[in-house]
């Protein structure tokens, strides 16, 4: 996957909108961020997802090189991943999981995403 693939996937989710966040694209549902796209750094495309803490911990255990530190933001469920190290289907599932985590429960239930 690439930033363009993630953008297309995020915007395909119900009520998802793109808005800038500190000069980065962010994707939100009803104002709540679920994905941001940091600038390409050293040839690496990264993605930041709002995931359940247990999912973040599992990712760190299964592929520690894929999880990139967020410095002061590296707490809670905010998870930065190296897109190039991730399987596309797994990453797509994680984007959807991030959306489900911030979307209103009635929207999640009604759309089956």
What DSSP assignment string belongs to 56-93? HHHHHHH-TTTEE--GGG-STTEEEEEGGGS-HHHHHH
Does the residue 58 lie in any domain? yes
Which structural domain range is residue 44 located in?
Answer: 3-106
In this structure, what CATH number is given to the domain that contains residue 18? Answer: 3.90.1150.30
The whole-number pLDDT of residue 42 equals: 83
pLDDT in tens, 8-49: 999 999 999 999 999 999 999 999 999 999 998 888 999 999
State what percent of residues in the chain have pLDDT above 90: 76
Does the residue 111 lie in any domain? no
Q: Who wins on pLDDT, 113 or 28?
A: 28
Does the residue 112 lie in any domain? no
Q: How many distinct structural domains can be found in the chain?
A: 1
pLDDT in tens, 55-84: 999 999 999 989 988 877 777 789 999 999
**Among 31, 35, 45, CA closest to 82:** 45
The whole-number pLDDT of residue 73 equals: 76
Does the residue 65 lie in any domain? yes
Does the residue 113 lie in any domain? no
The whole-number pLDDT of residue 112 equals: 54
CA distances from 49 to 63, 98, 110 (A): 16, 6, 23
């Amino acid at each position: 996957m690439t930033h363009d693939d993630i953008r297309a996937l995020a915007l395909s989710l119900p009520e998802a909108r793109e808005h800038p966040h500190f000069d980065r694209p962010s994707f939100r549902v009803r104002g709540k961020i679920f994905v941001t796209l940091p600038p390409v750094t050293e040839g690496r495309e990264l993605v930041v997802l709002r995931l359940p803490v247990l999912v973040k911990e599992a990712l760190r255990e299964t592929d520690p090189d894929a999880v990139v530190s967020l410095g002061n933001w590296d707490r809670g469920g905010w998870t930065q991943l190296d897109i190039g190290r991730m399987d596309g289907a797994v990453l797509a599932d994680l984007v959807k999981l991030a959306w489900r985590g911030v979307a209103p429960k009635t929207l999640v239930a009604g759309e089956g995403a």
